[in-house]
Structures are given as C-alpha cells and as structure tokens.
Amino acid sequence: MTNEANGTTAGPASAPDPTAPHEAVPHEAAQHDYEAPGERMPRRRIRALPGMVALAASALGLAALIVGVSVAASRTADAGDWVFASVVAIVANVFTGSGFVAGLVAVILRRGRPWGVAAMVLGVAANPFVLVSVFSFLG
C-alpha cells in the first residue's frame, strides 16, 4: 500500500527495525530533570506538599488544644485564663477543621495522600468540638 500524497508505504516494511541499536538514556538523567542536588525540589515532594501542609495545620490545632487544656485545667485558673483557653479552643477548631478539609482535598487530588489521611485523622481526633461531643455522649 502506497500513500500517494507523500510516497510512503504502510505495513511491515515501514516499521522500525527491531535489531537496530537505539540510544539509551542515562539512568541519572531519566530520574531527575535537575543538574545539582538542592537546585530544585524533586517532583515527588512538590506533589506531596498539600498533604504536608494539611498535616501541619492539624498538628498546630493539636498544639493549640494542648495549650488551651493546660491553661484551663490548672488549679489556679481564673476568669482571664478561661477566656484565653476559650480563644485558644476556637483557634484549635479552625486549625483542625482546615487541616481536615485540606487533607481531604489532598486525598482527592492525590497530592500527598498518606499525609492527607494522617491530617484528616488528626484533625478529627484533636478537634475540641468533636472531643467535647464524644465525652458528653460517653459521660
């Protein structure tokens, strides 16, 4: 079969020769598209960044929860300490909630899925609203 427009033939005669040598790509060049280590972040870390950010937000929420409970649970807590602990609890709610949502987005978009799952678990477990609801139900 000849293609009259460009004069080529189709079929087995036009296929590449399987015995002809081909150029091999060096192993290092195939893995990385940057020249020096530290010049650019590898692609894998960039893809996992949303999940890492989500986990960081949930961890900050956990830290805020620990601070708020520590201040409110002291024996010498007065009205000012309760106000501070309430504000810190609101901050913890915001961070754990945003960590959960960002983790969900990371899981859906496949951008740091393990980090996103960890952020979702930590975001639910460290959320003051969820903790109060669970302890009220149990007690």
> What gap in Å lies between CA 31 and CA 48, rounded to an integer?
18
Would you say residue 24 lies in a domain? no
pLDDT at 10 over 90: no
Q: Quick one: which H or E segment has residue 102?
A: helix 79-109
Would you say residue 132 lies in a domain? yes
Domain that holds residue 100: 44-138
Would you say residue 92 lies in a domain? yes
Question: What confidence tier does 2 reach under pLDDT thresholds 50, 70, 90?
Answer: low
Would you say residue 102 lies in a domain? yes
Would you say residue 7 lies in a domain? no
Whole-prediction pTM value? 0.66
Would you say residue 12 lies in a domain? no
Would you say residue 101 lies in a domain? yes
pLDDT at 9 over 90: no
Number of domains in the chain: 1
Per-residue model confidence as pLDDT tens digits over 29-74? 555 555 555 566 666 668 889 999 999 999 999 999 999 999 988 8
Contact 117, 107 (CB under 8 A): yes
Mean pLDDT of the chain: 82
Q: Is 58 exposed, middle or buried (0-12, 13-18, 19+ CB in 10 A)?
A: buried
Could you count the other beta carbons within 10 Å of the beta carbon of residue 52? Answer: 18
> What gap in Å lies between CA 58 and CA 74, rounded to an integer?
25
